[in-house]
Amino acid sequence: MNSTTVAVDLAKNVFELAVADAEWRIVERHRLNRTRFARFFVHRAPCQVVMEACGSAHHWARRLVAEGHTVRLLPAHYVKPYVGRSKTDRADAAALIEAARSSQIRAVPIKTLEQQQLQSLHRLRSQWLSTRQRYLATLRGILREFGIVIPLGPSVAKAQVGATLAAADSAIPEGLRPALAQMLQEIAPLEEKILSVERQLATLTRADERAQQLREIPGVGLLTSTALLSTVGDIQRFPSARHFACWLGLTPSERSSAERRRLGKISKQGDVYCRTLLVHGARSALLAAHRAQRAGKPLDRLRHWALNCERVRGHNKATVALANRLARIVWATWKYQRSFDGNWAA
């Protein structure tokens, strides 16, 4: 460990710093604005900087590493228990010093610019997708007040809403039709933006061998592979496939004591977005296995296992179990840089 540790409570404009010596005693405190904070580490001897993995943390981490310092990003929910009674910037900085002493807290890897670029594209796509869903839900709700029921599904909903607005004998008042038509027209540009982001993701990862290998796995497509690349970073930090599945929140939660072991539902810890994509991918892979079985096509061991699990446990549990297994396959494919083989056995 470096002889000096600097804990930084990040903010937009005012940064709170606590400087600790080799004995973890706080010897300095600083409250700096953004400009002074950027200059604080320029002429300072290389030291260990501890920050919460929150907004702008990766930007400052890359900048400080370039200046020769060692940066540790700690998960915010692991730092919170070290905060005292009062929640202040000084208390948060002191809590970072205490959390940095714990060997049980694993640091969050610093994201590269490429990772943050992919992650930002996913965030933009999610926002536009959410806006489209809100528009469609609003249109359904308004039309339902006039006795018109629109089925689920964006394509079917858009077609039926358009047909209803164009029909002269529909129950929609004339004064309301222009506003509804305008909202319906605003959905098309949103969908074009969503497709544009997906094309950008495909372009950025076209030459990435890891992304191409991940897409060979059933249920893992463009969105899931790029989301994992942007979120995980270095797969080598997970010692086993179970550690990776546990990090995604796809392993059972445990409430055990003494000799009694209690396993419950999945823990749902970790990145919600990646876990959601894997579950949706597992559901798609399970439906594809059903179609292949009905068509009489040969099934590999993975699809046989998924269908047997569904027969014993039900569709929803089998979907989550398959997502758990897909996460482990992702770990093995990524770690050992090999192509997917559904009949491979350890």
Q: What is the pLDDT of residue 171?
A: 87
Which neighbouring-strand residues pair with 252? 266
The beta strands (E) that lie in 241-306 are given as: 252-254, 263-266
Assign a CATH topology to domain 5-100: Nucleotidyltransferase; domain 5 (3.30.420)
- Residue 281's nearest CA partner among 241, 249, 325 is 325
Helix (H) or strand (E) holding 320: helix 315-336
Give dist(CA 199, CA 190) in Å, integer. 14
CB < 8 Å & 24+ apart, contacts of 11-18:
11/89, 14/89, 16/89, 16/90, 16/92, 16/93, 17/93, 18/90, 18/93, 18/94, 18/96, 18/97
Domain ranges in the chain are 5-100, 113-201, 209-336
The helix-helix angle for 177-185 and 113-144 (nearest 10°) equals: 160
Instruction: Work out the burial of residue 254: count CB atoms within 10 Å of its CB; fewer than 13 is exposed, 13-18 middle, 19 or more buried.
Output: exposed
Residue carrying structure tokens 């997708």: 129
pLDDT at 258: 81
Its pTM stands at: 0.89
Question: Would you call 13 helix, strand, or coil by DSSP?
Answer: coil
Rounded Cα–Cα distance for residues 234 and 86 (Å): 37
So what's the pLDDT on residue 2? 54
Q: What is the pLDDT along the chain (346 residues), one digit of tens a residue?
A: 456 899 999 999 999 999 999 999 999 999 999 999 999 999 889 999 999 999 899 999 999 999 999 999 999 999 999 998 888 999 999 999 999 999 899 999 999 999 999 999 999 999 999 999 999 999 999 999 999 998 888 999 999 999 999 988 888 898 999 999 999 999 999 999 999 999 999 999 999 999 999 999 999 999 999 999 999 988 999 999 999 999 999 998 888 888 888 888 889 888 999 999 999 999 999 999 999 999 999 888 999 999 999 999 999 999 999 999 999 999 999 999 888 887 765 4
pLDDT at site 1: 45
Of residues 177, 193, 194, 192, the one with CA closest to residue 139: 177
**Could you give the count of Cα atoms lying within 13 Å of 85 in the half-sphere of its Cβ?**
0
What is the reported pLDDT for 346? 44
Q: How many CB atoms lie within 10 A of CB 43?
A: 7
The DSSP output letter for 24 is: S
- Long-range Cβ contact pairs of 14-19 (< 8 A, separation 24 or more): 14/89, 16/89, 16/90, 16/92, 16/93, 17/93, 18/90, 18/93, 18/94, 18/96, 18/97
Residues contacting 277, CB < 8 A, separation 6+: 223, 224, 227
Smallest Cα–Cα separation from 253: which of 318, 320, 334, 310? 320
Q: What is the pLDDT of residue 255?
A: 85
Query: 326 with 215: CB under 8 angstroms?
Result: no
